[in-house]
C-alpha cells in the first residue's frame, strides 16, 4: 500500500504538530503499568487528590432530568461566585471596564482567543510567549494564521520575558503577548515592578496582555498564616502572586482555572476576566466554538469559586511535597533555588547524562520515575527536566530513594 503523505489530507499546521507532550508521557506510563512496574508519575500536572465534597454534591444536585443546551455565558450563580472570588482574592469589581465569563478550562480559552486576536489593529500577527512554556500558546497562534514568537526565558533573567528588548518590527506587529506567572514549567513568579513595566509596554505598543493565571493560587502555604483566606492587603504589600488586572484592565485578559486551584482537571472549568471591550466580542465568538459547559459542571464550579478553605488545604499539601522533594534536587545539584510556587520543579539533568533530556527521561523511566523532558515543553531547550509534584508523600519518599541511587 502506498502511504499518502499525511499533509495532503490535513493542513500543514496539523501535519506539522509534534505529539502533545502529555500524550507521550501517558504512553510511557502505560508501558510501565503493563510491565507490572511501580510508577512514580511526576510527568503530568494532574495530582490525585479527592475532590472537595461540596463540589461533587453541587454537581449531583444540578444533574437535570431533562438535558438542554448550556449557554456560553453561563448560569447566574457561576457569574456571582466568579465575581465574588475576583473581589476577595484580588480586590476586583466586576462590571463596567471589567467583565468575566466562564471557560471550559483554560486550555480551550487560550486556544480560542488567538482566533479573535490575530489580524487585529490593521493586521498585527505576532503572538509573543515565553519559551519554555505552555505548548498551546504556539499551536493556537499557528491555527489562527498568526506568527508565533517564542522568547527564551532563563535562570539568568529570572524567567521573565522582556518584550521591550525585541526587534522593533516584532514590537510593532505584536497582536498579543502571553505571560504566565507562577510559570509552568519553572515555578518562577514575577515582581510587581515587572508587571507595571509590562503593562506600560503593552499600552505603548497596543499589544493585548494575556495573563495565564492558572497557578495564581498555588503559592507557599506559609503565606496563609500571614494573609488568611478572605483578607486582602494592598497589592504592594501582598506576598501572593498577582494578576495584572489588579493594576489595569486596559487591553488585559486573565485566564484562571479550577484545575490547579481546586483540582478539578476533569470538570473543565475556568474563567476569563478582563477588558470588557475584548471579553464581550470574545463571548459572542464563543457561541460559535461549542464551549458552553454543561450546567451541572457550572454549578459545581460555582461551589469551588465560592470557597477558599479547600484551596488552603491544597496549598498545604503541595508546599509539604515541595519541602520534601526540593532539597533532594538541590543536594543533587539539579536546582539552585527552591521556587516559592509549589507545583513544578525545573531541574538541570546531571552532567554525566549529557544534555539529551528525552533520552534521560526514557532511561529514568526504567526505575519507574516519570518526568517531562525540556524538549517536549519548549522549542529546543535541552538538558532540563520538569518534575510536577503529583505523587503522594509516601510514594514520593520511595521515588526519592530510587532517584538518589540512580542519579548519584
Ligand X SMILES: Cc1ncc(COP(=O)(O)O)c(C=O)c1O
Distances (CA, A) of 202 to 64, 206, 250, 407: 45, 6, 9, 44
Q: To which H or E segment does residue 211 belong?
A: strand 208-212
Contact status, residue 221 vs residue 251, Cβ threshold 8 Å? no
What value, to the nearest 5°, has the Cα angle with vertex 52 and ends 99 and 76? 30
Q: Please tell me what DSSP assigns to residue 153.
A: -
Smallest separation, CB 109 to ligand X (Å)? 8
Q: Does 217 bind ligand X (CB under 6 A)?
A: no
Contacting ligand X (CB under 6 A), which of 43, 70, 74, 105? 105
Q: Which is nearer to ligand X, 83 or 136 (CB)?
A: 136
- Applying CB under 6 A, the span of 100-108, 150-158, 229-237, 355-363 interacting with ligand X comes to 100-108
Rounded Cα–Cα distance for residues 262 and 304 (Å): 7
The C-alpha cell at 145 is 494564521
Q: Which is nearer to ligand X, 211 or 221 (CB)?
A: 211
Smallest separation, CB 234 to ligand X (Å)? 27
Q: Does 182 bind ligand X (CB under 6 A)?
A: no
Rounded Cα–Cα distance for residues 369 and 307 (Å): 34
Smallest separation, CB 106 to ligand X (Å)? 3
Distance from the Cα of residue 190 to its chain's centroid: 15
Contacting ligand X (CB under 6 A), which of 186, 246, 254, 257? 257
Torsion sign over Cα 41, 111, 263, 185: positive
Q: Which is nearer to ligand X, 257 or 375 (CB)?
A: 257
Smallest separation, CB 264 to ligand X (Å)? 8
Task: Give the bridge partners for 150, in sequence order.
Answer: 129
Q: Does 106 bind ligand X (CB under 6 A)?
A: yes
Contacting ligand X (CB under 6 A), which of 129, 134, 159, 282? 134
Smallest separation, CB 404 to ligand X (Å)? 28
- Applying CB under 6 A, the span of 120-128, 145-153, 155-163, 257-265 interacting with ligand X comes to 257-265
The C-alpha cell at 381 is 531547550
Q: Which is nearer to ligand X, 171 or 255 (CB)?
A: 255
Q: Does 113 bind ligand X (CB under 6 A)?
A: no
Closest by CA position to 217, among listed 179, 243, 252: 243
Smallest separation, CB 268 to ligand X (Å)? 7
Contact status, residue 343 vs residue 388, Cβ threshold 8 Å? yes
Interaction with ligand X in 9-68: which residues (CB under 6 A)?
Answer: 45
| Distance between first and last Cα of the chain | 50
Residues lying near ligand X in the complex (CB under 6 A): 45, 105-107, 110, 134, 180, 184, 212, 214, 257, 259, 265, 270
Amino acid at each position: 500500500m502506498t502511504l499518502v503523505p499525511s499533509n495532503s489530507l490535513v493542513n500543514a499546521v496539523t501535519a506539522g504538530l509534534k505529539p502533545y507532550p502529555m500524550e507521550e508521557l501517558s504512553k510511557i506510563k502505560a508501558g510501565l503499568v503493563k510491565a507490572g512496574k511501580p510508577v512514580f508519575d511526576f510527568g503530568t500536572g494532574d495530582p490525585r487528590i479527592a475532590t472537595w465534597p461540596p463540589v461533587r454534591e453541587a454537581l449531583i444536585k444540578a444533574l437535570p432530568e431533562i438535558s438542554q443546551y448550556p449557554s456560553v455565558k453561563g448560569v447566574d450563580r457561576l457569574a456571582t461566585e466568579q465575581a465574588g472570588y475576583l473581589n476577595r482574592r484580588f480586590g476586583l469589581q466586576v462590571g463596567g471596564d471589567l467583565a468575566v465569563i466562564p471557560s471550559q478550562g483554560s486550555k480551550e480559552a487560550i486556544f480560542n482567543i488567538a482566533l479573535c486576536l490575530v489580524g487585529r489593529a490593521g493586521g498585527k500577527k505576532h503572538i509573543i510567549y515565553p519559551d519554555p512554556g505552555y505548548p498551546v500558546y504556539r499551536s493556537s497562534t499557528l491555527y489562527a494564521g498568526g506568527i508565533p514568537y517564542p522568547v527564551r526565558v532563563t535562570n539568568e533573567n529570572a524567567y521573565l520575558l522582556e518584550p521591550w528588548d525585541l526587534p522593533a518590527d516584532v514590537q510593532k506587529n505584536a497582536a498579543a503577548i502571553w505571560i504566565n506567572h507562577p510559570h509552568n514549567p519553572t515555578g518562577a513568579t514575577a515582581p510587581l515592578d515587572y508587571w507595571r513595566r509590562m503593562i506600560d509596554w503593552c499600552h505603548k505598543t497596543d499589544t493585548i496582555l494575556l495573563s495565564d493565571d492558572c497557578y495564581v493560587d498555588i503559592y507557599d502555604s506559609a503565606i496563609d498564616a500571614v494573609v488568611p483566606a478572605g483578607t486582602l492587603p494592598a497589592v504592594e504589600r501582598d506576598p501572593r502572586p498577582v494578576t495584572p488586572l489588579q493594576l489595569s484592565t486596559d487591553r488585559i485578559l486573565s485566564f484562571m482555572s479550577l484545575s490547579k486551584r481546586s483540582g478539578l482537571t476533569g470538570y473543565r472549568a475556568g474563567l476569563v476576566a478582563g477588558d470588557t471591550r475584548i471579553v464581550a466580542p470574545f463571548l459572542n465568538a464563543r457561541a460559535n466554538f461549542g464551549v458552553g459547559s454543561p450546567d451541572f459542571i457550572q454549578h459545581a464550579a460555582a461551589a469551588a469559586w465560592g470557597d477558599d478553605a479547600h484551596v488552603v488545604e491544597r496549598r498545604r499539601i503541595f508546599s509539604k511535597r515541595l519541602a520534601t522533594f526540593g532539597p533532594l534536587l538541590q543536594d543533587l545539584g539539579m536546582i539552585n533555588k527552591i521556587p516559592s510556587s509549589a507545583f513544578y520543579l525545573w531541574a538541570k539533568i546531571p552532567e554525566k547524562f549529557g544534555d539529551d533530556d528525552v533520552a534521560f527521561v526514557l532511561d529514568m523511566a526504567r526505575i519507574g520515575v516519570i518526568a517531562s523532558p525540556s524538549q517536549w515543553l519548549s522549542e529546543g531547550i535541552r538538558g532540563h527536566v520538569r518534575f510536577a509534584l503529583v505523587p503522594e508523600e509516601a510514594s514520593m519518599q520511595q521515588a526519592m530513594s530510587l532517584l538518589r541511587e540512580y542519579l548519584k
